Amino acid sequence: MKVLIADDHALFRDALGKLVESLDDTITIVQTSNFAQTLKILNQENDFDLIITDLEMSDVSSWEKGFEEIKKAAPTSKIVIVSASENIRNIKNILEQGACGFISKRSENNIMTSALKLVLDGGTYVPSTLLNRNTDNMGKNKILTHRQNQVLGLVAQGMSNKQIAYEIGVSEATVKLHINALLRSVGATNRTQAVITAQKMGII
């Protein structure tokens, strides 16, 4: 497994490298200390399984632009953002753009380890700050629409798309649209994770 760690703080970069190495004996780590160097490496080697990057390095114009350029250079890599900033809007936007997770630099090692394991297993790590904010907004109906909540409840019962379509009187294609929308809303990549995340958020 090949991992790129991009951060302009050497101590954090080295500590994170040791944590990543503990996940798998076969991991090869490449480190970069700025955004320009990161893109240079990715233009030479775009076969990284995982990219862990801070998007607040001095030569990054914005989180969105930085993520877009990394994604373009390494379209098949899983990308996780690490940052000392916990700006809810930035976190939400970056997850919506396709990041596999956001990890605060203030997180304990066990949280970072669990988050990276989840990402490597194909999941998306949504930080507790965002889950808590979403939970606070539930009463204002800002997470899922009524139909998405209905579909989520049926998914939690183990129903297939065909069964859900019959239950609520819509086509399977419409069910797929609702499921894709609710996955984005809760920051999940599959049905099982959506149910687990929704339970943590108190939606179901």
Task: Summarize pLDDT for 156-184 with one digit per residue, the tens.
Answer: 877 889 999 998 888 888 888 888 888 88
Q: In whole angstroms, what is the distance from residue 114 CA to residue 49 CA?
A: 17
Q: Is the pLDDT of residue 111 over 90?
A: no
| Phi–psi pair at 6, nearest 5 degrees | -120, 115
Q: Where in the chain is the domain with CATH 1.10.10.10?
A: 137-201
Q: Average per-residue pLDDT in the chain?
A: 85
CATH classification (class only), 2-125: alpha beta
Q: Positive or negative CA dihedral for 64, 145, 127, 176? A: negative
Structure confidence at residue 117 (pLDDT) = 84
CATH classification (class only), 137-201: mainly alpha
- β-pairing, 50-53 with 101-104? unpaired
Q: Within 13 Å and on the Cβ side, how many CA atoms surround 153? A: 11
Is the full-model pTM beyond 0.75? no
Q: Take residue 194 and report the two structure tokens written for it.
A: 């959506």
Q: Where in the chain is the domain with CATH 3.40.50.2300?
A: 2-125
